[in-house]
Structure 1
């Protein structure tokens, strides 16, 4: 009996333990389902569901004349899932039936491997069941259109295993054109520059998302669980592609020919402050030039003699001097607190302020500033502040290194030489755009405009925000001072003693100021072997009714043959102004000689071609010329009269006039002189954007206008 009871006790105990365990399991299941159900359901989903971002299409950047400066194009990465069920079913029959034809198509499309090499590559990846085999990266849209119709690929993702991922690639269709100003868009936004950085939030739009569920060995989109992206806005800049092209070519020609280190050229519309062009070039280790830094906006330097405009404006506003005030230049050398200031032209003594400005006398301006502001320097600094030379210009591009630096009285480096040195462009750091804004204010009769680069923002072609010209100061100085400053700047070019007299033009007038600043080479000091020169010219044209204001600043090297402002930057200014004057400020009309007979035709052509044409047409011809290969032709009343025309020899660098020629003859003449030709229109040449009689360099571009 004791044994039976012992056995029963053990059975009951086991049964009780099983019951307790079942109750615990059941209670735990109910607790998990009721209390923790949402948590574990979410955990399960997180292992099988994920959100995939859908990138928005980045907005484009346009020039004011409608050309696309920066845009996004789709590129495609192609992967293959060789473990896809549809590809491996029936022992891989689908793959084996298509691999030969697919390999041939891939070889023809990409031309980087033979068909047999592609076949071997695909078979190896299939054998290894590679789930994410990289077939091709950065495939173009045209290649994508062809690929999706290839054998196997056209069967779809589940049956072929082909996975095509689309990405956007940012391109600049004009490559170098304003590249640093437009900027580059990168995945790391902090590495963007230019307008791409400033307007990144508008350009990039809003990223969407798609819910993906893991099933059958791959992630598939969940239908209906998708948030569409919002595409970025488009930006229309103030840049003009023709002016930008002209500006960059002029700057490049000078820098390459003169072996310069870096340079910038900025063209501003005088009345509005719009930046129509900005070129920035820096020499690379291999000797080429690229837009590696925005020197016009983000590079502050000692400006040199172009700063004398600010000094002269201050002196005139305080009524200390006028254009006829006499100043003694003391032979071109004078010491201030033990430091000597010297003029590039020695031997000048008493002269007027107007002549001193035209000849760019350092001594004259150092003396005047020291005389009137030496004891009251804050008064001079207050003038510079009103001219905004110690303030960012307000242009949209972010350039922290471009903040100007004007010394303050509390500066540790302030000394007895500070005022006389500041007066002629040293001991202060400003950007070319700072100085251009001041010069533009004078050209604009004292009204200082904020320089700006963006006209409007568009969303699907509809303008949603427009930027208007903004006045920074309605009158930076009195009208009397403006008139005198304009006269002084005109003297710089018009006077035979002016530093920029070499760029004087007989057709239109230029006003401005040259500058040649001595710069320490690699911070080695200003000794003779370690100094280089920064050449500047800032001015406007036409002087009587300014349309454009231009700043050109170029840092030369020790190997540069030309170093002075007029010879370097002034020449670039002149090349730009000539083309803009011809394109925008003259009427491209061809005036035929006045004759009683209204049916008079004038042309220029080769003598032999003219003889052949008129002989074939049986038109009487009278050749009044005795020599030469070119003829002026006048056809009236069914009679042709030929006379001599002067075409400069091909071995000279004087630009000929091809007005009146047909395109064939014009191209023949200009290409023989080593010029590159572009043309617009049809018929005879009625205008050319490089003035006849001016000098040119081989390889220079000229645009012909036909009508």
Structure 2
């Protein structure tokens, strides 16, 4: 009985222990499932699957003809898993000498022994991600490196791991680089400045996600979400004009040892910016573009270019006639405790208001404004405000500076404010704001919003188009516009900018020379530097482009606007006029007058012969053997001549109908976009330019 009771007691203890253990296990399982379940499931997922973000390709920023101003170029960092699963000691040591030799020859920084020492040491330390070299390599270099010993065996057997990193490149170097902008070093932040920032959302695209699942000890990729690459942004920038503007301005800045300079070219009808240059002196004779966007971000006292607004105010209010006279005396006048002088020593005496503007007389302009607005200064300032001179333009690019024109009654208004504002002081405008004002005069009073981007494209298809926008339909009456237009032409023909006069086309514009405050000292203690400028448009009789050039801080004792800034304006205008067939061939495109019939566009010979046969028109030159024909309308007949197109060059389709122009350009391999009706009056890529197949070309009919 004693033995039986002992056995029963022991079995009971064991049974109780098992029951308690079972209860503990059940409680623990429930606890793990409920309380810590999510944590353990996450750990399981981490051990069996992982995600990697697939970076989207950033879109390109394009010039108006489709050429790339900024694009992403792949580059690679080189790593090596020196203890990869398939990389045995035998394979490693058999190939290490030849691999070290190839790396030494390629990078030219260490000896073969140096590379071998580093690789052997990395294997000893069991490095799984050893960086072979700090330098990034291009795709073509990567292809060559992949053929090196060991690396040609791949990732598992050779341990080679190239890591792709996209680099933002500007194929045209510094051209328009400040407006194009740049990215933050941290890619996820995107654009830092310029168009890269303004259109970051369109350019960046959307990253994808790649999920890896662990199967039989190996990570197997499973792509879940594909990346959506960024869209392309097409700008209004003409790279040829940009190049001319950049080089012309740089030469002048170097010549006059200036601190910085700006040049902007705008299309009159639309407000599209065709070129914009911001050059800053880094050291003597060396200027950089990527420093500060002075064109839109620096508002300064404009000086004499502002006299156009003063003249428009008195003309719009009907207070003067241009042929009336005013006495400017000896070129010196005093307003309260301040003295104003003309740059012409001895003054101009008694001259007309027309001559006051053409000769840029400070005394004449200020006296004119004070005589007419002294008792009602608000009327003058309100007139300037009505022209939109106190308003920002709302540019796509961030950083536009606020324009400033004092208003009567403000704390800073004084008795000398009115005369000094009239000649471009005690007020501030950016170069682009000044240009938009001059552009409005060229555009018959319609002020257009300056813009840099014409459209957003995805895989060559237009996603979003940016149309010209009117800021002010009429800054003044048409009669005032016509009068000041004549004044601006007179400045070049007879006034302060006769050095810009030429026999090919007329320029309308105004010189400006201003003393601006320098640094914190303002105008005190010699804290003054000069600003030379010229603003205007061309051809004056049919304005196509407006332009402004501003040079700050010329320091070689030459600072007048006509010499320092005007010469750059003329170089830009000459080049644009010479290459702009729509202006050069203006007379060639005009329909003949009475007695010169019939008139015809050029086109296919077969089509023209059919039409002229039906009309019973005499054709001279029908024997010409050419598919494409140029026509010349004479008094009683039409002469045919061969229209030639050089291989590899963009053909000239000026004067053709839409059908023939599109056929010819598409046969040449170009993508054609047509606007308007009639014959071709403009093509976006200049005739004779080197042909690049697949590039987009815009043709305008009219």
Name the TM tier (shorter chain).
0.7 to 0.9
Tell me if structure 2 keeps the 8 A contact 1:323–1:488: no
Give how far 1:206 is off: 0.5
CA deviations 1:342-381 (Å, max 9, x no partner) are 2112323322111101111112222222233333233223
Task: Measure the CA separation in 2 of the matches of 1:412 and 1:212.
Answer: 68
Q: Which residue of 1 aligns with 2:450?
A: 451
Contact residue 181 and residue 191 of structure 2 kept, 8 A: no
1:680-701 deviation line (CA, Å, top 9, x unaligned) = 989xxxxxxxxxxxxxxxxxxx
1:18, distance to aligned residue in structure 2 (A): 4.7
Query: Could you give the per-residue CA deviations for residues 56-101 of structure 1, whole angstroms, max 9, x where no partner exists?
Result: 111111111232111110000111122222114xxx1121122122
Pick from 91, 96, 115: which aligns with 1:94? 91
2:565 counterpart (543, 566, 569): 569
Residues 22 and 528 (structure 1), Cα distance of their counterparts in 2 relative to 1, 3 Å cut: closer
Secondary structure of 2:549's match? strand
Match of 2:152 among 151, 154, 171: 154
Tell me which residue corresponds to 1:259.
257
**Partner of 1:104: helix, strand, or coil?**
helix
Q: Secondary structure in 1 aligned to 2:389?
A: coil
Is 1:552–2:576 an aligned residue pair? no
C-alpha distance in structure 1 between counterparts of 2:453 and 2:393, whole Å = 14
Residues of 2 paired with 1:350 and 1:414: CA distance? 30
| CA shift in 2, pair 1:448/1:11, >3 Å | same
Contact 1:109 1:143 in 2 (8 A): no
Cα distance between partner residues in 2 of 1:14 and 1:52: 53
Match of 1:142 in 2: 140
Q: Tell me the CA shift for residue 541 of structure 1.
A: 1.3
Give the SS at the match of 1:284: strand
Query: 3-state DSSP class of the match of 2:531?
Result: strand
Partner of 1:210, secondary structure, is strand
Using a 3 Å threshold, how does the CA distance of structure 1 residues 410 and 94 change in structure 2: closer, same or farther? farther
Q: Determine the C-alpha separation between the residues in 2 that align with 1:43 and 1:127.
A: 31
Aligned partners of 2:299 and 2:431 also within 8 Å: yes
Where does residue 275 of structure 2 map in the other structure?
A: 277
- In 2, are the aligned partners of 1:322 and 1:484 still within 8 Å (CA)? no
| RMSD value, Cα | 2.9
Q: Equivalent residues in 2 for 1:203-242 (5 A)?
A: 203-212=203-212, 222-242=220-240
Instruction: After superposition, give the CA deviation of every residue in 1:241-279 in whole Å (9 maximum; x if it has no partner).
Output: 111111011100100111000000001111221111111
Q: CA deviation at 1:419?
A: 1.7
| Structure 2 CA distance for aligned equivalents of residues 101 and 348 of structure 1 | 86
3-state SS of the aligned residue for 1:366? helix
**1:395: how far off?**
2.9
1:381 matched residue in structure 2: 381
Corresponding residue for residue 27 of structure 2: 27
Task: Indicate the SS of the match to 1:371.
Answer: helix
- Relative to structure 1, the CA distance from residue 6 to residue 111 in structure 2 (aligned partners, 3 Å threshold; closer, same or farther) is same
CA shift digits 1:128-148 (9 cap, x unpaired): 211211113411111111122
Distance 1:75 1:548 in 2: 41
1:213 and 1:222 in contact (8 A); partners too: yes
Match of 1:43 in 2: 43
Where 2:242 maps in the other structure, the secondary structure is helix
Secondary structure of the 1:330 match is coil
Write the distance in 2 (CA, Å) between the matches of 1:192 and 1:313.
40
What displacement does 1:152 show?
1.6
In the TM superposition, what are the counterparts of 1:55-70 in structure 2 within 5 Å? 55-70=55-70
**Partners of 2:143 and 2:178 in 1: how far apart?**
33
Q: Which residue pairs with 1:181 in the alignment?
A: 179
CA contact (8 A) 2:87 2:158 kept: yes
Distance 1:411 1:45, change over 3 A: farther
Judging changes above 3 Å, is the alpha-carbon distance between structure 1 residues 317 and 33 closer, same or farther for their aligned structure 2 residues?
same
Q: Is the 8 A contact 2:212 2:221 kept in 1?
A: no
Query: What is the aligned partner in structure 1 of residue 461 from structure 2?
Result: 462
Paired position in structure 2 for 1:199: 199
Q: Distance in 1 between matches of 2:464 and 2:413?
A: 46
Aligned with 1:505 (options 502, 505, 510): 502
- 1:540 to partner: Cα distance: 1.1
Stretch of structure 1 that moved more, 171-180 or 10-19 = 10-19
Decide whether aligned partners of structure 1 residues 405 and 47 sit closer, same or farther in structure 2, where only a CA change above 3 A counts.
farther
Among 555, 575, 590, the alignment partner of 1:579 is 575
Contact 1:393–1:433 under 8 Å retained in 2: no
Say if 2:48 and 2:213, in contact at 8 Å, map to a contact too: yes
**TM-fit CA distance, 1:162:** 1.6
Structure 1 residue 315 and structure 2 residue 318: aligned? no
Q: Deviations over 1:667-689 (max 9, x none)?
A: xxxxxxxxxxxxx989xxxxxxx
Match of 1:526 in 2: 523
Q: 1:466-490: per-residue Cα shift (whole Å, max 9, x none)?
A: 2222222222111110111011111
Moved more, 136-145 or 22-31: 22-31
Q: Structure 2 unaligned runs (5+)?
A: 589-647, 651-686, 691-702
Q: CA deviation at 1:37?
A: 3.7
Number of residue pairs the alignment of both structures matches: 588
**Contact 1:306–1:515 (Cα < 8 Å) also in 2:** yes
The secondary structure found in structure 1 opposite 2:454 is: strand
Alpha-carbon distance change, 19 to 479 in structure 1, aligned in 2, over 3 angstroms: same
Q: 1:305 touches 1:425 (CA, 8 Å); kept in 2? A: yes
- Please state whether the residue corresponding to 1:192 is helix, strand or coil: strand
Runs of 4+, deviation exceeding 6 Å: 1-11, 214-217, 703-706
Determine the C-alpha separation between the residues in 2 that align with 1:45 and 1:287. Answer: 62
The Cα offsets for residues 130-177 of structure 1, whole Å up to 9 and x where unpaired, read as 121111341111111112232222222122222111111000011011
In the alignment, is the contact (CA less than 8 A) between 1:211 and 1:221 conserved in 2?
Answer: no
CA contact (8 A) 1:58 1:72 kept: yes
Q: Taking structure 1 as reference, are residues 180 and 424 closer, same or farther at Cα in structure 2, changes over 3 Å only?
A: same
**Residues 225, 510 of structure 1: alpha-carbon distance in 2 compared, 3 angstrom cutoff:** closer
Hey, what does 2:614 align to over in structure 1?
none
* Whole-angstrom CA distance in 1 between matches of 2:127 and 2:409: 70
Partner of 2:672: none
Q: Map 1:240-251 to 2 at 5 A.
A: 240-251=238-249
Q: 1:21 to 1:221 in 2, by over 3 A?
A: closer
Aligned mates of 2:369, 2:17 — CA distance in 1: 106
Does residue 366 of the first structure (1) align with residue 363 of the second (2)?
A: no
CA contact (8 A) 2:445 2:481 kept: yes
Query: Structure 1 105/214 Cα, relative in aligned 2: closer, same or farther at 3 Å?
Result: farther
